[in-house]
Structure 1
């Protein structure tokens, strides 16, 4: 059988001289011959997918049923299907990005025994329809069960995902002699032991060296955003080949990619806020084909993305842990002899990391509120929950997902509706505190790595409990002559600083006044705004900056704290207004009044109007003091909170187009409501402008 497996390896790699890496054949043999439960911990690029696809082919040749593969990312799923096709395997995916017809077609293929493997995301295990109508139908005929990126099972891991908790329960209901393969490149002893405890004593472990011989590692101490951008623009063209630049937020991906483009570097942002999966696929393929120099990506481009000749991975901002860093930097140098891995550390990184830690789990009051609403409205859909709960739709979905995988669960999903079960529920405070402490400790260990004077590869290996890792002989600490120079081009710093100060943020008008007609009637008891009315819409506007963006956003933040905006913000605002396209240029300015800081925006608006030589009118006034808008977390509450908040001074308006200014824009609801009132009273066009955007401008 080994000869057959080797022949399949040559077909999959399309290399007639291909041989198995150490432990690859042993892993295949464990699954196919011994039907073992097996955890494989091997470095990125070792060939874990080759193990389970060759094992799948051999099991299918022996007459067994299809393989089930649990895979966490869509980019991974696409690559897997392409790899399997080289072995003549028919593989289908079943995931949330598919439309109804695509899922129906996949279902027919699976139930009709027309496929060799099914790749699903772990979330599908929580979908009643998939579990009852598809998985149950084939559960007695599964030839192999694969859990890719198995560290996600463990809440000790760097990337624990609650949906992975379903896997253990599913496996308990599967035939005991079914071979199971769990794979990961990022599991230390603590995570390995936890996975073993969850999957059972039958689990065998094959573990290899995690050292990456191709990688030349370096840490660079540049904390200022302008200087980091300048370093990237100066050094990336010097690195041969193509790579990935990692950033923490979608906004920063756009910032980095945008600046590099101004310097003639083909770099594009890749993150979860892209318009479509097709756009993501197009960008992935462009990098694979070397049509772009780099993708600037969040962790959305991580696990499973396979480009063997990727020559560099640079972190514009630091990841959250050593394990996460190893996983991401390990994208580079998988099939070439030399690649570069560089980590920078920004002033903002610790603040971002702390935000992620603080928001990793739902708050107890939010859980209690949601459970109360579900209990009172027996059989309620997600779309019906927003009016009852003052937190975002995304947060509602996260809490529902979190509760649904608890065992026993306090909620039950039937179709699209949620019901309260008889089980009482209490948030596991001890567990959450433990995990938050772990995350904080991991961040401190990453800072220790960044400041280390010892071999960087050995540091990574030891943190992953790989005692075999030796000094690499090529990182910046082992061989200082290999380092990239950290001297900065002052002209590039000036250009980067200027770019950050002229990166305007679009303020796109809201298309509707609610998510439905019923919600509009509930939200606008006073203003009586309809679900949709084009005659009341604002035009598209601009914000001067992003909050604390390293440019004007820093000065805006300072002004808000001081209670007065600097006059230095007047010229850049005028420059922004002069670069906008108008059907008819506004002839006057008005502003959003504030009950808590009545002079902050008013004074700036009057100064701006004076500099523009146009009148500033006090058109809007506070009619009813409402809670701060920032305390409203979803669209229903954000809009309802503004219903009746403003009145119009009818003697202080013109019909000509107007600039409507506020200090900050986030949800756009304040502009939407204030603009609609101005339109209602005869203003021809309302162009919203803001000093800064506090939204996630990805």
Structure 2
């Protein structure tokens, strides 16, 4: 088929996808031609909304017309997959997806792929290493595929090891493809460093002397519809007030991004109380609730979703009118990606950053969760080396100092590196030599620090803000936009209405967070000589408790961090916090009023905890029954997973000999400074229940 005829067919498929007036951009056609006519590999770096998905759907339709096998799209998020399946259908392309949300459909989809009824199969990167998929589906798919697409390909870059390490497995997949199978990688967020890294990972280079030159298409990252601005405010109270004052005046509906789940939920509650139709959206939101929230925003049934970065790649609402950030993301790349949700199909959209003093602390926290040190990773390998059978992630936890999520990340990285293998029943060591990439991880850390500084520079720059972001992404076409607050000299007011400000103050000072009891013992405890397993008996649990606030709260969080931080000295509890705890107790809807107070033993803050227990007992006219004893010699380093944490706590505490609970006539109020994993409360509550307490009601100043 000649090139002109192919382009006419491509235009027909595009019109089916995007409407009767749609025409291919020249770079879209260049990519399609490279994939279909020349069977090359290509990397397309284009701004959000440019039409990258049109390239692979049109290319798929053409390749299928030519008798080629199905396209495999590796896609990172379920929301992205849902949108892509719908888009494919509009183009006359039959698409299906295999992911964690539809396990009941896997067998039928795999059969449809085998008989050729599926044109596009979307899979998550994790699915590539699912044992059944890897052994039963992937070999045949690799032999017969007509096109491989790596969507959101920046995930394969250096920083991707702790976001989607399975993306790095793609390099192995691509080496196993038959010769002549085209490969397309697409992303909207890539600077020069990321482009080089992705190109290397996918075998795409810019060597013009190569006999079949792989193609890199990189366009302008300007977003003509976006008006960028920064509003510097001095307190969380002012930022909340500003949101409430300005939200109604923002165009259409949009997204308010926050840095933490707790902030998203608090802001959504505050705005709802102020009469706005908003919902929170985060990684803690249930799947069905996420889908409902996305639908409500798409249909303009809410003014905004207050969201963490969980609402990001793949959410496509062309008429999204604004994106507000309550707190700055840690890099210009992340910020550009998130603001790219707005203004795709409208002439004007507002983008406003409300930075906070706590942003750096939050960045530092997430940075601390990156790839662990070598000794910790070696402990994982050592445990698997010495196991006589595959070990699940849960079975590994008692033996390594890692949280469940970080342990899973380490296992995936080791798997990609060939040191461990995922099999039925868990993980096993391969015995292959493995080296720790310390230099690489330090390079990533330096890059992150530089990106954080760039975000601070963005807030302070007097130059064009869009030009600043485009330059950070190494856009060679970067130039002043003429639209942002710096270009126009027109900035949002920093004034906040006094009534709104007072409402924000009251919301921030509201006290009380529910502490749910632990209901299951961690797996594998008998392997470390702790004689518990399965469900925690209701007769050994504490009842739902209360904390004054979370460390991450936008209201009480700052005061609690100052009082309970690692550098804080021990002392009497401040009266302001005592009175706040009294308000928490007054609002507590307990079934039975506590009949006595017990103070938790503390090696770090004995004076603080004792004074809090004494003040609460005196105000409530309750007997102070005593202090839970603790053995400082048994104090271990704070653990990052439940099994290790419980093992370190199990024999640490003791009850006073004189403590009498059987005749108390009501539950015990158990007072502590803060709770993290909840295992200290669980262990001591079990002891108190076994000693005769009819119930245990935990009260702490803070929770994490």
Which category of TM-score, normalised to the shorter sequence, fits these structures?
A: over 0.9
CA distance in 1, matches of 2:341, 2:257: 11
Choose which of 82, 87, 93 in structure 2 pairs with 1:89: 93
Report whether the alignment pairs 1:451 with 2:460: yes
463-472 or 529-538, which deviates more: 529-538
**Deviation for aligned residue 1:210:** 1.0
Relative to 1, partners in 2 of residues 1:440 and 1:103: Cα closer, same or farther, differing over 3 Å? same
Choose which of 324, 338, 346 in structure 2 pairs with 1:328: 338
How far does the alpha carbon of each residue in 1:450-501 deviate from its partner, in whole angstroms, 9 at most, with x for none?
11111111112222222223321111011123x2211122332332232122
Choose which of 355, 358, 361 in structure 2 pairs with 1:351: 361
Relative to 1, partners in 2 of residues 1:301 and 1:523: Cα closer, same or farther, differing over 3 Å? farther
- TM-score between both structures, scaled by the size of structure 1: 0.93
Q: How does 1:488-499 map to 2 (within 5 A)?
A: 488-499=496-507
The residue aligned with 1:233 is 244
Report whether the alignment pairs 1:500 with 2:508: yes
How far does the alpha carbon of each residue in 1:408-428 deviate from its partner, in whole angstroms, 9 at most, with x for none?
x22222223322223232211
CA distance in 1, matches of 2:85, 2:177: 25
The residue aligned with 1:7 is 12
How far does the alpha carbon of each residue in 1:241-270 deviate from its partner, in whole angstroms, 9 at most, with x for none?
111111122122112212211211222221
Report whether the alignment pairs 1:388 with 2:399: yes
Relative to 1, partners in 2 of residues 1:144 and 1:677: Cα closer, same or farther, differing over 3 Å? same
Relative to 1, partners in 2 of residues 1:689 and 1:90: Cα closer, same or farther, differing over 3 Å? same
34-43 or 106-115, which deviates more: 106-115
How far does the alpha carbon of each residue in 1:629-659 deviate from its partner, in whole angstroms, 9 at most, with x for none?
x612222222222323333335443231222
Structure 1 residue runs of 5 or longer lacking an equivalent are: none
SS at match of 1:88: coil
The residue aligned with 1:242 is 253
Relative to 1, partners in 2 of residues 1:339 and 1:531: Cα closer, same or farther, differing over 3 Å? closer
**Deviation for aligned residue 1:572:** 1.3
SS at match of 1:385: helix
Report whether the alignment pairs 1:25 with 2:29: yes
Report whether the alignment pairs 1:648 with 2:652: no
Report whether the alignment pairs 1:61 with 2:72: no
The residue aligned with 1:674 is 684
Choose which of 140, 161, 175 in structure 1 pairs with 2:178: 175
Q: How does 1:448-527 map to 2 (within 5 A)?
A: 448-481=457-490, 483-512=491-520, 514-516=521-523, 519=525, 524-525=530-531
CA distance in 2, matches of 1:158, 1:531: 35
**Deviation for aligned residue 1:360:** 1.7
CA contact (8 A) 2:278 2:303 kept: yes
Choose which of 243, 259, 271 in structure 1 pairs with 2:282: 271
**Deviation for aligned residue 1:179:** 1.4
CA contact (8 A) 1:609 1:615 kept: yes
Report whether the alignment pairs 1:400 with 2:406: no
Q: How does 1:679-694 map to 2 (within 5 A)?
A: 679-694=689-704
SS at match of 2:21: coil
Relative to 1, partners in 2 of residues 1:133 and 1:411: Cα closer, same or farther, differing over 3 Å? same
**Deviation for aligned residue 1:623:** 6.0
339-348 or 190-199, which deviates more: 190-199
**Deviation for aligned residue 1:548:** 5.6
How far does the alpha carbon of each residue in 1:572-623 deviate from its partner, in whole angstroms, 9 at most, with x for none?
1111111111222223222211244333211111111111222221053336
Choose which of 434, 440, 448 in structure 2 pairs with 1:425: 434
CA distance in 1, matches of 2:423, 2:526: 28
CA distance in 1, matches of 2:160, 2:129: 21
The residue aligned with 2:594 is 586
SS at match of 2:629: strand
**Deviation for aligned residue 1:326:** 1.0
CA contact (8 A) 1:521 1:530 kept: no
CA distance in 2, matches of 1:678, 1:157: 46
Relative to 1, partners in 2 of residues 1:141 and 1:369: Cα closer, same or farther, differing over 3 Å? same
Relative to 1, partners in 2 of residues 1:563 and 1:6: Cα closer, same or farther, differing over 3 Å? same
**Deviation for aligned residue 1:313:** 0.8
Relative to 1, partners in 2 of residues 1:651 and 1:42: Cα closer, same or farther, differing over 3 Å? closer
The residue aligned with 1:296 is 306
How far does the alpha carbon of each residue in 1:539-589 deviate from its partner, in whole angstroms, 9 at most, with x for none?
111111111634333333333323122011122111111111122222322
CA distance in 2, matches of 1:470, 1:228: 30
**Deviation for aligned residue 1:684:** 1.7
The residue aligned with 1:442 is 451
**Deviation for aligned residue 1:361:** 1.2
CA distance in 2, matches of 1:295, 1:666: 28
The residue aligned with 2:673 is 663
SS at match of 1:404: helix
**Deviation for aligned residue 1:532:** 3.0
CA distance in 2, matches of 1:160, 1:468: 30
CA contact (8 A) 1:508 1:539 kept: yes
CA distance in 2, matches of 1:661, 1:279: 35
- TM-score between both structures, scaled by the size of structure 2: 0.93
CA contact (8 A) 1:21 1:46 kept: no
CA distance in 1, matches of 2:552, 2:428: 42
SS at match of 1:332: coil
How far does the alpha carbon of each residue in 1:146-203 deviate from its partner, in whole angstroms, 9 at most, with x for none?
1111122222789974322111221111022111111111122232233333314442
CA distance in 1, matches of 2:516, 2:336: 39
The residue aligned with 2:226 is 215
CA distance in 2, matches of 1:368, 1:680: 40
CA contact (8 A) 1:658 1:683 kept: yes
The residue aligned with 1:603 is 611
Relative to 1, partners in 2 of residues 1:645 and 1:190: Cα closer, same or farther, differing over 3 Å? closer
CA contact (8 A) 2:522 2:533 kept: no
**Deviation for aligned residue 1:504:** 2.3
CA distance in 2, matches of 1:24, 1:337: 23
Relative to 1, partners in 2 of residues 1:243 and 1:118: Cα closer, same or farther, differing over 3 Å? same
CA distance in 2, matches of 1:158, 1:515: 27
The residue aligned with 1:184 is 187
2-11 or 110-119, which deviates more: 2-11
SS at match of 1:113: coil
**Deviation for aligned residue 1:102:** 2.7
CA contact (8 A) 1:154 1:160 kept: no
Report whether the alignment pairs 1:319 with 2:325: no
Relative to 1, partners in 2 of residues 1:158 and 1:448: Cα closer, same or farther, differing over 3 Å? farther
What is the aligned length?
683
CA contact (8 A) 1:31 1:38 kept: yes
Structure 2 residue runs of 5 or longer lacking an equivalent are: 1-5, 206-212
Relative to 1, partners in 2 of residues 1:521 and 1:147: Cα closer, same or farther, differing over 3 Å? closer
Report whether the alignment pairs 1:204 with 2:215: yes
CA contact (8 A) 2:634 2:648 kept: yes
CA distance in 2, matches of 1:189, 1:156: 14
CA distance in 1, matches of 2:383, 2:36: 50
CA contact (8 A) 1:659 1:687 kept: yes
**Deviation for aligned residue 1:665:** 1.2
The residue aligned with 2:141 is 138
How far does the alpha carbon of each residue in 1:94-138 deviate from its partner, in whole angstroms, 9 at most, with x for none?
123333x23233322223322111111112223333222111112
**Deviation for aligned residue 1:531:** 4.4
The residue aligned with 2:3 is none
**Deviation for aligned residue 1:674:** 1.4
Relative to 1, partners in 2 of residues 1:104 and 1:356: Cα closer, same or farther, differing over 3 Å? same
SS at match of 2:34: helix
